[in-house]
């Protein structure tokens, strides 16, 4: 393993793992292992996306959430079926084909043939499935694409028929008119959900039109509208029954108008100008001649603006005043014109007043493409929005235009064609949602949502106001509504299966699309000799997606037991926009069919926006390509970035590429470095011991090292927390905990134990113990993180598994049960670790938290005084408010050395409670958020009182649990805020406190020669370490170090002299020496000039060399230069021949194993 790269290319490594998974069919093997074990089924429904476009961040986010939860389920004893699904029908597909074929009218489809049109649609629905598969797989999401389902599959469509037949059988289906959002570009109605997807600010004409009263010659009702194109279809006017109306004389126009008294400003705009308008000005503008209640006007007749429908069927009920409370006086005239073919309220009010009747044709001169018909010849063939100007001109010419203006407002546009919607009455097939609304609301209460606020807020509000659902669409590419009927609709049959259709028609089909089944007729039973034909409409694709739980399994025709055993689903997840889409349709159909919710648990994600907070737009190119981001930083980084953000609790995320890079830098790089550090030191330990490293849990449990105990406890706590939170589907708490733990492991445990793990502190025994602890932590965390970051954990596991004794079984048993670390070929085969309660240790965790607080505040003190960490400080004093006894014992005991080392301090003092007053002052403040309501006006006096308390009084207050103030008891627990402030005198003190004010760390910043020399020594150590690193030396590689200062300067030498022990501990007994003592034959490996203590010093690291006595001859010197110090360590004498004469060299007289040994023996340096 020594070939682990210094910097891992995460993205490239992921691609290699992807290829390995594909080659070894790892996903399939995981599924097989689960089935073989008989794991409990965990049912997951995956909402089918359209494959007519490429996946974006919204899909990636939802896919990641789904993958994390289902991977977690698989690794906690469950089997999860994960099939890909595709939404194939509906408007998105048809609109694209219409654009491609330049189809603008329904008749063009009929001319080319529905079969050809549908074949064209079929040809594009799976266009991007391979791109989807590539992106989803690269993301690390495991989904079965081979056994996918499509909503255009005959089996899927047949189950949709079954669903509808069941609703029809329960009398939950009816046909009627409904005014719906209508796309004239697509020629089809849209759901209210779809209509809300694309609002734009537009400018529309706003006109006030007069309607002369038939019983009061010379007076007219006036109505305001922003849709002049609907006026040819006007058949009534509506007032509010309780609103006050007036008849006025417009003195300038010399005309009489009736309108709401509160809306006179619509005729006289100056009344809206509060600065200019004066009540006395009214006398010049108008005179009120009569006052009425709205109810007084009901039934009065008027003359229509246009008479296109004045003599048709039912017209005797037209052109009269109606009343309804939906009329408001916040705009317009308080009189609303009624065109029931183009307004939901208009239709409802006219129906309620008998102006129109159910089943009766409505005055509707507009076709399905939004063009006027011959009923209004002046604008025949014009689109309604383009007809406004012509109609306004006609109204003006007839003398009926009172005034004209423009209105800027927000208006719905078609989400596919980006054209303005209209509201239009269309004949539709409805599901009686209102009949089962209470059941739906009750079933929603049985579900668990994350976040819960969406369930109880947005979704609940939508459900309690739910209206009957129009499920039919006047289109071609969709599942046909399976109703066959006679022309007069007296005989209606609903078909629920292919077999039933065969039995009634004699025709067996293998395709259920419109072009096939529309050719099939069913003989009439009521009128022999006649036939029933299928109705024209197809299902709204939302009905199909709501039927997905049943249709994807071809229920009830196949998989009956499997479906019923796994219904409702254990889990689903989609975006916030689906509260009115898929979540709603699932709930409606499952309630109608089984009186159950369709799912038990649901995660709702928010929207991923561009970095500027706007919607991501391909046109604006305001977001980075997901595939580019993955190729740069890796899928794991993108996954962690997304699920460690507010978006997993239904809030919005402004996507920042820098955030993905941040995950790499702050999480993956430190984690990889810790992993690599372990491997390097494990291999060093194996080399030194001549033995293999074998994981030993008994060593981990037996260790008494406080950091070992802490990191083990923290790991078990993390495991416990992850299981608790994942059981509750709270991904937004799990990811921050994982990130925090990685920081604890890399920034604290590894750093605090670096020398120990290297074998430089405590010997090989301590090194092995530390390595055992680190190994088990890395293995546990690797397995635990596998559902979240599947790639990096697989990479770690493939290295870590090799140490396990069961690894020897991997050759033949790597893909078999039982699974176990080592033997099993993938981390994703393993069961996630369960926490070991015996290793949970709150005391150790609390003590370590205190250590970190002390160290971090101590570093802040150093920064304030600009004292380098290489320069020691004399003393660190800590004052803690009410610390636990075990925390004090740990800080004063086993953790003390770590704090001294981290802060480079010579001493640490924990101030006892009885001496706190000598160091700090305790002050109290009111908790304004809580006390504000309780104290009211007394707050100011209370603040003055409590902030003036002495240290002793404040301490007494906290010890007593609070204080009394003017008859009120103030609790110290939550109504007061306490804070410690450093109060010791002396410029040599510097302090810092926690934001909560419960810990103060003070440092004695006195700088004497001993302190300064120690700092210079650490600077020299750093230079030496950098030279070793530049040469690529290992810890075990020994060198000699020599330095040379400028003439007359001995700053570095005196510093080394005062800190010999420091160098010996750091460099295995070696001590840097002045260069003048280096043997002439020393070989310099690398040298550099550095500034230490304000002077320039040349530092050289040299190959270890045998040292000779002063004045040694050239021949002897040459001989000594050829010797390896390690080879002469045990030789007391050596013989050589010089000029034919044999000479004996004695160790300790003529030569030494190193220059340090020589100078020590000869006392060549007084300080050595």
Q: Give the active site residues.
A: 48, 87, 542, 578, 582, 615, 618
Q: How far is CA 581 from CA 191, 448, 589, 1168, in A?
A: 9, 18, 12, 82
Q: What is the C-alpha to C-alpha distance for residues 1133 and 1146, in angstroms, rounded to an integer?
A: 4
- The answer to whether 120 and 114 have CB atoms below 8 angstroms apart is no
Kind of pairing between the strands at 1040-1045 and 1073-1074: parallel
- The answer to whether 870 and 900 have CB atoms below 8 angstroms apart is no
Contacts of 971 (CB under 8 A, 6+ apart): 961, 962
Kind of pairing between the strands at 78-80 and 83-86: unpaired
User: Helix, strand or coil for residue 566?
Assistant: coil
- The answer to whether 653 and 646 have CB atoms below 8 angstroms apart is yes
Would you state the structure tokens that stand for residue 834, as one six-digit string?
Answer: 């369960």
Q: What is the C-alpha to C-alpha distance for residues 1151 and 1146, in angstroms, rounded to an integer?
A: 7
The number of beta carbons lying within 10 Å of the beta carbon of residue 866 is 6
- The answer to whether 1019 and 870 have CB atoms below 8 angstroms apart is yes
Sequential DSSP letters for 352-370: HTTSS-TTSPP---B-TTS
Would you state the structure tokens that stand for residue 337, as one six-digit string?
Answer: 């014109």
Q: What is the C-alpha to C-alpha distance for residues 927 and 550, in angstroms, rounded to an integer?
A: 56
Q: What does R_g of the chain's alpha carbons equal in angstroms?
A: 42
The DSSP output letter for 252 is: T
Give strand pairing partners of 250.
255, 286
Q: What is the C-alpha to C-alpha distance for residues 749 and 773, in angstroms, rounded to an integer?
A: 10
The number of beta carbons lying within 10 Å of the beta carbon of residue 1117 is 14
Cα dihedral across residues 716, 722, 727, 730: positive or negative: positive
The CA-CA-CA angle for residues 379, 385, 390, to 5°, reads 40
* Inter-axis angle of helices 582-594 and 154-169, nearest 10: 60
Distance of CA 253 to the CA centre of its chain: 62
- 8 phi and psi angles, rounded to 5 deg: -85, 130
The DSSP output letter for 864 is: H
Q: What is the C-alpha to C-alpha distance for residues 806 and 821, in angstroms, rounded to an integer?
A: 7
* Inter-axis angle of helices 706-727 and 842-865, nearest 10: 110
- 415 phi and psi angles, rounded to 5 deg: -70, -15
Q: What is the C-alpha to C-alpha distance for residues 660 and 57, in angstroms, rounded to an integer?
A: 13
Would you state the structure tokens that stand for residue 777, as one six-digit string?
Answer: 């932590």
Q: Is 346 exposed, middle or buried (0-12, 13-18, 19+ CB in 10 A)?
A: buried
Kind of pairing between the strands at 999-1004 and 875-880: antiparallel
Q: What is the C-alpha to C-alpha distance for residues 976 and 751, in angstroms, rounded to an integer?
A: 38
Q: Report cis status (omega within 30 of 0) of the bond before 933.
A: no
Q: How far is CA 353 from CA 220, 243, 319, in A?
A: 22, 19, 12
Place of tokens 């001649």: 289
Place of tokens 């049943």: 550
Kind of pairing between the strands at 335-338 and 422-431: unpaired
Q: How far is CA 94 from CA 125, 150, 155, 206, in A?
A: 10, 16, 22, 34
Q: Report cis status (omega within 30 of 0) of the bond before 606.
A: no
């Amino acid at each position: 393993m020594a070939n682990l790269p210094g910097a891992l290319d995460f993205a490239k490594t992921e691609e290699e793992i992807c290829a390995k998974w594909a080659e070894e069919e790892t996903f399939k093997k995981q599924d097989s292992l689960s089935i073989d074990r008989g794991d409990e089924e965990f049912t997951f429904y995956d909402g089918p996306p359209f494959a007519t476009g490429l996946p974006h961040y919204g899909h990636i986010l939802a896919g990641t959430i789904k993958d994390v939860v289902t991977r977690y389920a698989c690794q906690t004893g469950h089997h999860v079926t994960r099939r890909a699904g595709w939404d194939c029908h509906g408007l998105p597909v048809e609109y694209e084909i219409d654009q491609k074929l330049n189809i603008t009218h329904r008749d063009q489809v009929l001319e080319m043939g529905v079969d050809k049109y549908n074949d064209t649609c079929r040809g594009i629905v799976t266009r991007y499935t391979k791109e989807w598969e590539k992106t989803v797989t690269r993301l690390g999401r495991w989904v079965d694409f081979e056994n996918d389902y499509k909503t255009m599959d005959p089996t899927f469509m047949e189950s949709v028929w079954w669903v509808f037949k069941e609703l029809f059988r329960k009398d939950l289906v009816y046909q009627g008119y409904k005014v719906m959002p209508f796309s004239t570009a697509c020629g089809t109605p849209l759901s209210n959900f779809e209509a809300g997807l694309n609002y734009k600010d537009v400018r529309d004409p706003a006109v006030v039109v007069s309607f002369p009263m038939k019983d009061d010659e010379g007076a007219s009702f006036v109505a305001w509208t922003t849709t002049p194109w609907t006026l040819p279809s006007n058949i009534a006017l509506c007032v509010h029954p309780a609103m006050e109306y007036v008849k006025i004389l417009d003195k300038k126009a010399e005309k009489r108008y009736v309108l709401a008294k509160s809306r006179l400003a619509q005729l006289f705009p100056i009344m809206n100008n509060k600065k200019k308008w004066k009540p006395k000005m009214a006398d010049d503008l108008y005179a009120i001649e009569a006052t009425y209640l709205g109810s007084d006007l009901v039934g009065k007749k008027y003359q229509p603006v246009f008479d296109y429908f004045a003599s048709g069927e039912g017209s005797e009920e037209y052109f009269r005043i109606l009343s309804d409370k939906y009329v408001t006086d916040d705009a317009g005239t308080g009189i609303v014109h009624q065109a029931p073919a183009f307004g939901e309220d208009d239709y409802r009010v006219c129906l309620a007043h008998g102006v129109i009747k159910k089943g009766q044709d409505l005055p509707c001169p507009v076709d399905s493409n939004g063009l006027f018909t011959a009923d209004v010849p002046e604008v025949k063939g014009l689109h309604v929005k383009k007809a406004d100007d012509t109609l306004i001109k006609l109204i003006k010419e007839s003398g009926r235009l009172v005034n004209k203006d423009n209105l800027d407002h927000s208006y719905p546009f078609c989400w596919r064609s980006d054209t303005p919607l209209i509201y239009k009455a269309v004949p539709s097939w409805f599901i009686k949602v209102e009949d089962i609304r209470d059941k739906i609301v009750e079933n929603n209460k049985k579900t668990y949502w994350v976040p819960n606020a969406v369930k109880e807020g947005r979704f609940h509000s939508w459900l309690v106001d739910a209206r009957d659902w129009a499920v039919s669409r006047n289109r071609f590419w969709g599942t046909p509504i399976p109703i066959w009927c006679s022309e007069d609709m007296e005989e209606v049959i609903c078909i629920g299966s292919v077999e039933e259709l065969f039995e009634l028609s004699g025709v067996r089909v293998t395709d259920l699309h419109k072009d096939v089944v529309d050719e099939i007729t069913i003989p009439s039973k009521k009128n022999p000799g006649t036939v029933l034909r299928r109705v024209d409409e197809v299902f709204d694709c939302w009905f199909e997606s709501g039927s997905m739980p049943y249709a994807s399994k071809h229920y009830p025709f196949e998989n009956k037991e499997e479906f019923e055993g796994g219904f409702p689903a254990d889990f689903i997840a989609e975006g916030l926009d689906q509260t009115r889409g898929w979540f709603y349709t699932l709930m409606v159909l499952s309630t109608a069919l089984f009186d159950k919710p369709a799912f038990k648990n649901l995660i709702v994600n928010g929207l991923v926006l561009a970095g500027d907070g706007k919607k991501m737009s391909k046109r604006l190119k305001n977001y980075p390509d997901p595939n580019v981001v993955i190729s740069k930083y890796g899928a794991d980084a993108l996954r962690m970035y997304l699920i460690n953000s507010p978006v997993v609790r239904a809030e919005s995320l402004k996507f920042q590429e820098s955030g993905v890079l941040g995950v790499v830098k702050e999480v993956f790089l430190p984690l990889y470095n810790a992993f690599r550090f372990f491997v390097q030191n494990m291999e060093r330990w194996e080399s030194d011991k001549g033995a293999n490293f074998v994981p030993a849990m008994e060593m981990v449990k037996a260790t008494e090292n406080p950091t070992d105990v802490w990191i083990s406890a923290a790991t078990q706590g993390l495991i416990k927390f992850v299981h608790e939170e994942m059981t509750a589907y709270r991904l937004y708490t799990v990811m921050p905990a994982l990130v925090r733990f990685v920081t604890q492991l890399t920034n604290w445990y590894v750093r605090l134990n670096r020398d120990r793990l290297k074998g430089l502190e405590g010997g090989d025994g301590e090194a092995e113990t530390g390595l055992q602890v680190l190994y088990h932590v890395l293995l546990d965390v690797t397995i635990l993180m596998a559902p979240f970051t599947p790639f990096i954990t697989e990479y770690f596991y493939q290295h870590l598994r090799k140490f396990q004794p069961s690894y020897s079984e991997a050759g033949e048993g790597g893909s078999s049960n039982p699974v176990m670390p080592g033997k099993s070929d993938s981390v994703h085969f393993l069961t996630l670790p369960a926490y070991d309660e015996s290793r949970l240790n709150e005391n150790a965790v609390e003590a370590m938290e205190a250590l970190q607080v002390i160290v971090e505040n101590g570093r802040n003190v150093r920064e304030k005084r600009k004292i380098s960490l290489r320069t020691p400080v004399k003393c660190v004093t800590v004052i803690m408010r009410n610390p636990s006894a075990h925390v004090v014992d740990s800080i004063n005991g086993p953790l003390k050395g770590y704090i001294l080392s981290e802060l480079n301090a010579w001493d640490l003092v924990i101030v006892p409670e009885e001496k706190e007053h000598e160091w700090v002052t305790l002050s109290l403040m009111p908790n304004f958020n809580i006390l504000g309501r309780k104290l009211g006006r007394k707050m100011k006096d209370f603040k003055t009182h409590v902030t003036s308390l002495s240290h002793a009084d404040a301490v007494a207050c906290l010890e007593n649990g609070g204080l009394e103030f003017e008859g009120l008891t103030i609790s110290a627990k939550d109504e007061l805020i306490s804070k410690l402030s450093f109060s010791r005198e002396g410029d040599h003190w510097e302090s810092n406190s926690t934001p909560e004010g419960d810990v103060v760390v003070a440092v004695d910043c006195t700088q004497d020669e001993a302190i300064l020399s120690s700092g210079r020594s650490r600077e020299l150590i750093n230079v030496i370490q950098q030279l070793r690193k530049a040469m690529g030396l290992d810890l075990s590689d020994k060198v000699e170090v020599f330095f040379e200062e400028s003439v007359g300067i001995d700053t570095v030498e005196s510093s080394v002299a005062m800190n010999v022990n420091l160098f010996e501990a750091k460099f295995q007994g070696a001590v840097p020496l002045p260069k003048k003592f280096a043997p002439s034959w020393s070989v310099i490996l690398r040298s550099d000039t550095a500034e230490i203590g304000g002077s320039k010093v040349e530092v050289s690291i040299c190959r270890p060399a045998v040292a000779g006595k002063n004045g040694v001859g050239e021949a002897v010197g040459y001989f000594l230069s050829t010797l390896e110090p390690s080879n002469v360590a045990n030789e007391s004498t050596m013989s050589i021949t010089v000029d034919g004469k044999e000479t004996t060299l004695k160790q300790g007289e003529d030569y030494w194993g190193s220059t340090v040994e020589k100078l020590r023996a000869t006392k060549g340096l007084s300080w050595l």
